[in-house]
Structure 1
Amino acid sequence: MTAVPTVTLNNGVTMPQLGFGVFQVPDPETAAAVSHALEVGYRSIDTAAIYGNEVGVGQALASSGIARDDLFVTTKLWNSEQGYDATLRAFDASMDKLKLDYLDLYLIHWPTPARGLYTDTWKAFAKLAADGRVRSVGVSNFQPNHLTEIVEATGLVPAVNQVELHPRLTQEPLRAFHAEHGIVTEAWSPLGQGKGLLDDPAIAAVAAKYDRSPAQVVLRWHLQLGNVVIPKSVTPSRIAENLDVFDFELADADVAALSALNVDSRVGPDPDTNNEA
């Protein structure tokens, strides 16, 4: 079984650097996909309330036979549940679906700045952490100004910021901000959601050089940048392939070649303007 390296968060908690995401996986298919991921060696599972598949994740975890201490489970608070009291209720609802006694990482899914509630929400996250119900708390899709605001309001620095990140959106300024403040960068859509990224000739050339798939060299690029990464698939062969990235290393020139593909192109919403309910 593949040994996945870990990163140490700013509160001393360790997190696998590569995990399994379940974005857009229908709940009836989720238990099987997560079960297969666990069988081949994943130990970090990333879901969210809005994905509608926390129940399936919980079923797979419960039936896995894997000790709870060996698992790292992340879920996220949806936008419509922001606010101090609403956050605490939403957390309880997620935990009921996951059938867990504690969570490893809880994230605010989007800042939704028009609501003006992310600071109050972060205060509820601080309470959940202080009460021991969550081992680490973080955010998703936050920009430096959002991060600065919540830290100034609470003194609590997010452990993780999960953001869209791939070779066409390398997020270098944001990653530098994270590094300066002790925040781990986690990449969602690490493969660009298949929007032509994996067909790019530059990636194909690197893949051919290492006799690896395009997805594997992009995941390796993430790992060598220091990102935590959560590829998603429901195909058993790809689930296994995405984990098979720890027995080779890209040369610095190849890391640079993939980074040079950056055009600041998003496949998802802009965090500064996304206020989806």
Structure 2
Amino acid sequence: MANLTLNDGRSMPQLGMGTWQIKDAQAAAIVRTGLDLGFELVDTAAIYGNELGVGDGIKDADVWITTKLWNDRQGDVEAALDESLALLGLDAVDLYLMHWPVPAQDRYLDAWRAMIGLRDAGKARSIGVSNFLPDHLDRILAATGVTPAVNQIELHPKFQQREARAYHEAHGIVTQSWSPIGQGKDLLKHDVIVRIAGAHGRSPAQVVIAWHLAHGFSVIPKASDREHLSDNFAALDLTLSAEDLAAIDALDSADGRLGPDPAIFG
């Protein structure tokens, strides 16, 4: 498992398990399966409603845990994290992310200040954001001087977020990809992805995950059974050629976004 060094000096596994849309009752078994296969990072969030199950799945395991602050708790950050910690059965999480900026309610700066306090208190070992645009990042940096360790954003070959990635690189922020295989939609059937997969004797999902890894992103694909978890994990030993990467890079699309627009969501 490759690791990425964060701007706070900590080391985070590059590949993880996403748990969005995994029900609480199934989460423990799925997480345990993933850990058995070798995953070392589990990503959850308060809004997913599965922190209790994830906590059961990680019990007694040495694993990186990420959870997230939901939009309606930006004025109540410490209590929100305490609730997540209680469900997870932990004294601290490895990474706490603000899930969305929600600029219309104009609380994300105060929430970021509160998250800095929670990091300093040891309840979150690292802190970051999710779905923040460069102008949101500029604002919290100017006001606090504290740079998020991670920005988790929608990123896949059809929506490559080049401007955000350039900003992250300039500021030492790790780019973490959510919906990395485009929610499975048409991307895995695209002729370029299928061709590259065939040439390597691999699955299309492995090709897309390997593309993320080759670009240095952290990536958290979701899978809800052993077969897909194992398939995702096997992307770690797939090396794509420069030609493969260039062909996938060329799939970027102006209308490739699948999720909400952070400028207006919330």
TM > 0.5 = yes
Are residue 174 (structure 1) and residue 171 (structure 2) matched? no
Report how many residues are paired: 265
**Other-structure match for 1:183:** 173
TM-score, normalised on structure 1? 0.94
**Other-structure match for 1:151:** 141
Determine the C-alpha separation between the residues in 2 that align with 1:246 and 1:146.
33
Question: How far is 1:102 from its partner?
Answer: 1.0
Are residue 77 (structure 1) and residue 74 (structure 2) matched? no
**Other-structure match for 2:93:** 103
Identity %: 49
**Other-structure match for 1:267:** 258
- 5+ residue gaps, structure 1, are none
**Other-structure match for 2:25:** 28
**Other-structure match for 2:232:** 242
Give the RMSD, CA atoms, in angstroms.
Answer: 0.7
Structure 1 SS opposite 2:58: helix
Determine the C-alpha separation between the residues in 2 that align with 1:35 and 1:73.
13
Determine the C-alpha separation between the residues in 2 that align with 1:252 and 1:120.
43
**Other-structure match for 1:252:** 242
Determine the C-alpha separation between the residues in 2 that align with 1:158 and 1:194.
29
* Letter paired with 1:212: R
Question: How far is 1:245 from its partner?
Answer: 1.6
Are residue 92 (structure 1) and residue 82 (structure 2) matched? yes
Determine the C-alpha separation between the residues in 1 that align with 2:238 and 2:20.
28
Question: How far is 1:246 from its partner?
Answer: 2.3
Question: How far is 1:253 from its partner?
Answer: 1.2
**Other-structure match for 1:52:** 49
Question: How far is 1:43 from its partner?
Answer: 1.0
Determine the C-alpha separation between the residues in 2 that align with 1:216 and 1:234.
16
Structure 2 SS opposite 1:273: coil
- 5+ residue gaps, structure 2, are none
TM-score, normalised on structure 2? 0.98
Determine the C-alpha separation between the residues in 1 that align with 2:236 and 2:183.
22
CA offsets 1:87-139 (integer angstroms, 9 cap, x no match): 11101000000000111000000001100000000000000111111110000
Counterpart contact for 2:206–2:238, Cα < 8 Å: no
Correspondent of 2:201 among 200, 206, 211: 211
* Letter paired with 1:244: A
Equivalent runs, 1:123-142 vs 2, <5 Å = 123-142=113-132
Question: How far is 1:59 from its partner?
Answer: 0.4
